[in-house]
Structure 1
Amino acid sequence: MKEMASITKYLAFLSGIIISLTVIFYIYSNILKSQLFEQGENILSDLVDTTTYGYGVIESLNSQNFTYCSDENLLAMRKSQFESNDIRDIGFLENGVLTCTTGIGILKKPIKGPRYDFMLDGHEFWFNHKLVTFDRTVQGIIIRKDNYNLVASFQGILYEHRKFNRYELLALKGEKIIHLFGETGIYQKNSTSSQPYFSSGLLSHSFEFCGPKGLICVAIEQRNFSEFQLGPVFLILLFISLISGVATLHAYQSIYSYIYSTKRRIKLALSFKGIKPHYQAIVELKTGKVIGCELLARFEDHIGPLYPDQFISVVGELDMSWLMTQDLILQAIDDFKDIQIINEPFYLSINVYPKDINNGNILKGVELLKNITPNLEVCFEVTEDEELHYSKVGNTLEVLSKSRIKISIDDFGTGYSNLSQLKLLDIDTLKVDKSFIDEVETGSIRSTLIPNIVSIAEKLEASIIAEGIENRLQVDELLKMDIKFGQGWYYTKALPLEEFKHYLINHSDYKFDQ
C-alpha cells in the first residue's frame, strides 16, 4: 500500500511537470501561430501594396503618351523609379518589344520577352523573372500594361521580413507551383485561398497562407524557441516545471486526503445508504438460547472498512446521526418482518444518539415503529453521555414511555447518569459495560460493583444484559450474580443478516416465514 502511494505521488509530480510543459507549449504555440499568421498577412499585404503602387506608376507613365524612348520618357521613368523603394527597373516597349529601361537606357538590341504567366486586373505578370541591370541580377515580379513594365524586387519588398529565415513565397498556376522567393520545399500544399494552415510540432511550427485569389502563397517554418536564447529558456522551463510538479503533488495530497477522509467517506455512505446493519446475539446465560440481538452499524467501501469507534463519532459531527439511525431502523424492520413468535417477541436493540433525544428526532423513530409486526420488541439503546439533557427532554421521554419502544442504558456505570435521572427515562434494561465483565474472573474491586448495578436495576424494575462476554468462566460468575442475559464473542460476534439468521435458527426456537 505504501509502495503504491509512493508511486502515485511520483506520478502526480510527473503529471504536474507534463501538464505545465503542455500548457507552456500550448500558450507558446498559440502566440507563435498569431505571429506567423500576422507575418504571412504582412508579406502578402506588402506584395499587394507594391503591386497596387506599380499599377499607379504604369498608369501615370502611359497617360503621358510617349511613343518612343526619348530622353523625356527615360527621365519620367527614372523619376518614378526614384520615388519608389521597391521598383528596381522600369522599361518602355514599342509594339511589345522592350527598347529601353531605366537601368540600362536605350537597348542596343530590343528584347521581345516571353509570354506572361498571369493576367490580373488587366495587367500582365511575370513571376520569378530575372532581369540584368548594370552588373546585378534582380529577382522579382514584372508587371506590364500597354507601353510600360516595371520590375519589383523581392529583396526590397520582403526585406523587413528577413527574421523568418525559413519561408517560401510562391505562385500557383493551376496545379503548377512557381517558386518565387525564399527557401524551396517549405510549402506543402496544405492551405487554400479561404483557409490558412497551421501545424505545430515538438521541434518546429509551420504556417501556410494564400492570398484572396489563391495566386500567391507564403509558407513559413520556424524552429521552436529559436527566437530565444536556449540556455535561459531551458532554465526557466525547468524552474516552472519543478514548481508545477510540487504544486500538483501538493494538490494531489490535498485531494487524496479529502477523498480518503473519514468524513467524506461516511457522508457519501450515508447519502447512498452505505452503512449496513450487523446483528450480535443477546442470549439467555443459563440456556445459551438467543432471545434477541443488538443492531450494530458497520461500514466498508472500496477503500476498506472502518471500525465503529472510527466513524460513529464522525456521524455525530456531521449532524447526520438520525439519518443513519433511521436507515438502520428501516433495514432492521425489513430484516425481521418474517420472524415467528415462540413464547416471547424477538428483542431488537437499536442504538440512538443522545443528541437525537435532545432534539426530538427520536420521536420520528416512534412513528417509524408504530406499525411494525408484534413479533418484534424494539428497544432504543442510549449511551450514558453528558450530552443527554435529562431535565429538558420531559415531553420526549413521556412519549417514549407511552409507546411500545423500550429504553436501555448502554455501557452502564461509565457515564453521567444517576438514579433519579434514570427514573425519568423509565428504563427497561441496563447493559453492564465490558470493563466490568473483563475483571469478573479475578474478583477485582471493579467487578465487585456489579451487585450494586443489579440492585439499581431491581429498583428501576429493569433487566440486565452483560456485554463483552468472552469465556465460560465469566458466564458462570455472572449467573452467580443473578444476571440472566448477555452478549459477546463467547457466543458470536456481530454478523450480517444471513449469517445471523443461520446462528439464530440453530440457537433458539425462533423461525422465519419462508
Structure 2
Amino acid sequence: MITRLTLVSASIALGCLATIAPVLTSIYVADEDAERRDEAELREFAGKAVMRADLVTYQAFGALADLERAPGAACSPGNLAEAARVIFNYRYVQDAGNYGNGQYLCSPLLGDVRSQDLTLPPPDFRSNDGYFVWFHQRNPLSDIREDVQIGRNGHYVSIDPGSYVDLIDPARRPIGVLNIDTNTVIAVSPGSDPDDMLNAWKRGGKVQSDQWRYAVSRSATRPLGVVVKSARSSLVNNWPKLLFMWLSIGVVSGAAVGWLMFKRISRQLSFPATLEWAIARKKIDVAFQPIVRLADNECTGVEALVRWTLNGRVISPEVFVTVAEENRLIQPLTDLVLEKTLAQLGGWLHSNPAFYVSINLSSEDLRSDRFLNKLTTALKGTGIAPSQVRIEATERSFMHADATRGIIASFRAAGHPVYIDDFGTGYSSLSYLQSFRIDVLKIDKSFVDTIAQDTASSVVAPHIIAMAHELGLEVVAEGVESASQVAWLIDKDVQYGQGWFFAKAMPAHELFTWLRTRHAPKAAAGVPLL
C-alpha cells in the first residue's frame, strides 16, 4: 500500500512538474524577450531624442547665420526688424539680438537696452567652431525663466530648454539632454531629476535599478548627449497569477494549441526546404528599380531586388529573405542575385560605364571577405568597373561593428561604393557613422512619406539630410511617389530619388525598354545615352 501510494504520489508530482516546468520556462523566456524588446525600443527612442536635440541646435545656428547677414548697424531699426523676422521664422527661437562687452545691447523683445547696463556673464561653453553657449541664462525680462542662449560674432539667440525634450511620446518617458564636453545637463522633461540623468550618462546608461531602465545616445555632429529612461515591467514579478492563469488555460486548450503548433512548425520546417530548393535551381528572380538623379531627371543606376513566385503566388521578400537569414541560406541567395544581375545587366554595364547596379548584402555577408572575393572573380574579364557594382547594407549590419568595419573598408578599397539602406529604421545609435567610411545614405520610405508634413516624424528626413551633408555623404530618397516630394527633395539638395514616381522594379528586358524610351530624345539629338 505504501509503495503504491508512493508511486502514485511520485507520478502526480512528475505530472505536475511536467506541466509546470514548460509554463515556468515559457514565462522566463517571455520575460527575457520582453526585456530585449523594451531595451531596443528605448534605444530607438534615445536616437529620436538625439535627432530632436540636433534639430533645435541647427535651428539656432541657422538663426545666427541670418542675424549675421542682417542689414544696418547693430540695434538700428532695420537690424531689429530683421531680428524680429528671425524669431518668427525659426520655431524654437524665443529671442534674438546683439550683445557686446559683457552686456545685452538690444533685441526685439528687450528693445534698445545699451544704456541699461544689463550684464551678460561669460559663456559656460565655447565650441571649436566659434559658438558661445550659456546653458541656464536668466532672461532679463523674467525673475524665474532660464533659457539656453547661443551666440556668435556679437549676435545671440535664446532657446526654451523645453524644446530639446519636447517629443511626442504617449508613454511620457523622461528625457535629459546634456553637453557631453562639460557634463552639463541642458534640459530635462518635466518631473525628471537632472542629477539622475547626469549619473546615467556617466555610467553609459548601465544603472542598476529595479524600477527603471536607461538608454543613452549621442549626436554624430555636435557635443550633445541624450539620456532616456522607462519604467521596468517584469512578467516574473507576477508569476503566481500567471502560473494559475496558464495552468487553467493549459488544461482546457493544451491539446488544441499543441496541434496548431505542430502544424505551424511543420509548415515552417517545409518552407526553408522549399526556399533552398528554389535557390539551388535558380528559381529566384531579380528585378531592377531605377535610381534617378533629381537635378536632371537622369537614371544613373538601378537597385537589384530579389523576387520569388511560388506556384503562382508572389512571396514577399520580407518573408523569404528573413527565412534565408535564419536558415543559413542568405549567402547562396546573395550569390544567386549577383550571378543573375551580371548575366542580365553585364552587357549594359559594359556599354555604359557611368551606369551602376547596387546589390543588397546581409549582415552575414559583411562578416567576412567571402562575397568580396566572389564579386572580384566574377568581374574579371567583363570590362565592368568595380564602381559599377555598389553595395547596400542595412543598419542592422553595423551592429557587428568589429567584424563589419574591415569588410566595408575592403569593399571601398576595391572600388565598390557602399550605401546604408533604409537609414533611420534600424540600429538606433548613430555613432557608427564616425567610425565607418561609407558613401551614400538612403532615406527610408517611411520618412520620405512624411516630408513637408506637420507630424512627429516629419523632422527626421530634414535631420538625416542635414547630417549627410555635414558628413559629406550623398543621399538617395526611397519611396518617392509625387512631384511635390521631388520638389521638396531638390530644395533640400538631395541628389537622387527612387520610387514609383519614376518607375517600379522591373525585369531586365523591361528596364532596357524603359531606358531606351526615356533617353530616345537625347539619342536622337546626338547626346550620349548615359
TM range (shorter): 0.3 to 0.5
Normalized against structure 2, the TM-score is what? Answer: 0.45
User: Where is the strand percentage greater, Structure 1 or Structure 2?
Assistant: 1
Normalized against structure 1, the TM-score is what? Answer: 0.46
User: Where is the helix percentage greater, Structure 1 or Structure 2?
Assistant: 2
Larger C-alpha radius of gyration, 1 or 2? 1
